[in-house]
Amino acid sequence: MRIILIEDQPELAHWLSRALTASGYVVDTIGDGIDADNALQTVAYDLAILDMNLPRMDGASILQRLRARHQTLPVLVLTARGEVSDKVKGLEMGADDYLVKPFELDELEARMRALLRRHQGHEHTWLQCGELRYNKQEQFFELGGKLLQLTRREHAVLDVLIRRKGQPLNRERLFNQVFTLDDDANPEAIEVYIHRLRKKLDGSNVSITTLRGLGYLLEQRDGA
């Protein structure tokens, strides 16, 4: 899951980015309103966490421009403005939820999961491809009924692939879903994680296939 965190308080942004990364999210942190608006137009995010007080372009303008472009990205407003009128205004402008600072991390993550479930229309907790199962709510994989041990990057790559099971995903798009804007990496790094995942899936009825010119495909093997 790739998240954009739009927050101009450096300490809060750093702490929250680390916490969400530890929870398995890929997080881009941006503290400038115009830069955030540009990123929202060019990067495919799963959710936005938006502060309202930002330099160069405020959160209200970002939200209005996002909805004017007919982008349905779920937006969680995170702000110090706690008056009922502020909440009503934010929701009417197109925010999906509203959390007032200071806040508890557990509540923030619970609200994020709820927004992601609603947005993606997930009626079920599990995704499955052959012997591989993924619990979307708790964010863990099982292979053959046993917990599959993965590094954070391996988990992120397999998360993207199982959500697109049966559909090829090219290397550049997979890279953009796994690495943040600040990561010192290039698309070739994806090949390392694909190789590691193939070794961990070896012996099961699930494979990651490379389709020339199309990308990587997670699928159940024939006859399984």
pLDDT of 224: 47
Angle between helices 10-22 and 105-120 in degrees, nearest 10: 60
pLDDT of 222: 67
CA–CA separation, 181 vs 175, rounded Å? 11
CB distance 171 to 191 below 8 Å? yes
pLDDT of 223: 54
Q: Are strands 97-100 and 75-79 parallel, antiparallel or unpaired?
A: parallel
Q: Residue 104 phi/psi, 5° resolution? A: -95, 135
pLDDT of 124: 61
Class of the CATH-defined domain 126-220: mainly alpha
CA–CA separation, 19 vs 109, rounded Å? 10
pLDDT tens-digit series, residues 128-174: 898 999 988 778 999 988 999 999 999 999 999 998 888 899 999 89
Nearest in space to 7 (alpha carbons), one of 99, 69, 119: 99
Q: Which DSSP string corresponds to the chain?
A: -EEEEE---HHHHHHHHHHHHHTT-EEEEE--HHHHHHHHHHS--SEEEE-S--SSS-HHHHHHHHHHTT----EEEEES---HHHHHHHHHHT-SEEEESS--HHHHHHHHHHHHHHHHT--SSEEEETTEEEETTTTEEEETTEEPP--HHHHHHHHHHHHTTTS-B-HHHHHHHHS-TT----TTHHHHHHHHHHHHHTTSSEEEEEETTTEEEEEEPTT-
Query: How many Cβ atoms sit within 10 Å of the Cβ of residue 72?
Result: 10
Q: Is the pLDDT of residue 67 over 70?
A: yes
72 band by pLDDT with thresholds 50, 70 and 90: confident
pLDDT tens-digit series, residues 165-174: 888 999 998 9
Query: Regarding predicted confidence, which is higher, 75 or 102?
Result: 75
pLDDT tens-digit series, residues 6-41: 999 999 999 999 999 988 888 999 999 999 999 998
Fold of domain 2-120: Rossmann fold (3.40.50)
Q: Residue 4 phi/psi, 5° resolution? A: -110, 125
- Whether residue 74 is preceded by a cis peptide bond, meaning omega within 30 degrees of 0, is no
Per the prediction, the chain carries an average pLDDT of: 89
pLDDT of 38: 93
| In the chain, domain spans | 2-120, 126-220
pLDDT of 213: 86
pLDDT tens-digit series, residues 204-220: 999 999 998 899 999 98
pLDDT of 202: 93
